[in-house]
Amino acid sequence: MAAGRTLFAVYGYARTSVEDLCAAAHVQLRDFYREFESREALLVDLYDEVAIGGMRAAEVELSAEGIETCSTEERIRRLFDAYVRVVTRDPQAARVAFVEVLGVSRAMDDHLTMWRTVWVEFLTREAERAAQRGHGLDGDLTVVVKVLTRSVDELLAHHGRRPRQVPSDWLTSELTRMSLAMIGPSAPPETSA
């Protein structure tokens, strides 16, 4: 997998053959096919490694001290910070997961859609929680969360293309700001008459 991560990140998925992967990994072609059904199967595994790591980081943060009592803004920032730290830790893995997977095939697009669905469910729960605490708008947030999910993907692709120009801290701040803007403002405090 390390050879795939490096070659896909440096030369691009489209320009990397199975033979290139085998040469870099010092394995025979038959060994590659014992491990992976295809070059695309390797790409899926590399993507999943990043996606699972990001999801686990966000889930771990959900059980961190103070997460249930902090403000909505702080909670969102902490969740995105945990996620972004993990998915951007390795610039090559980030490039593969957020740039090289784009436009590969219908099967890869379906795989990415499955992951977006997972994130839409996660972020919808967070938006509903924020609404219960008086932050955001009541009602169906499905479209807002889908737009947010695509925005996360696009910002991470931007980072994957230019990791030195798009630092992780900026990503966390921008994703937090966008999330708060998309779910809407906090409810004004009730005044007594």
Q: What's the CATH code of the domain at 161? A: 1.10.357.10
Range of the domain at 30: 2-183
Domain count, the chain: 1
Asked whether residue 45 carries a pLDDT value surpassing 80, the answer given is yes
Distance between CA atoms of 6 and 1, rounded to whole angstroms? 9
Residue 162 lies in a domain: yes
Residue 155 lies in a domain: yes
- Residue pLDDT, tens place only, 12-38: 999 999 999 999 999 999 999 999 999
Residue 188 lies in a domain: no
Alpha helix positions (H), the chain: 2-11, 18-25, 29-35, 39-62, 72-87, 91-95, 106-132, 142-161, 168-183
Higher pLDDT: 138 or 116? It is 116
N- to C-terminal Cα distance for the chain? 65
- 186: β partners: 135
Residue 193 lies in a domain: no
Q: Is residue 5 very low, low, confident or very high in pLDDT (cuts 50, 70, 90)?
A: very high
Percent of the chain clearing pLDDT 70 (strictly above): 94
Q: Is residue 116 very low, low, confident or very high in pLDDT (cuts 50, 70, 90)?
A: very high
Residue 189 lies in a domain: no
> Who's near 70: CB < 8 A, 6+ residues apart?
78
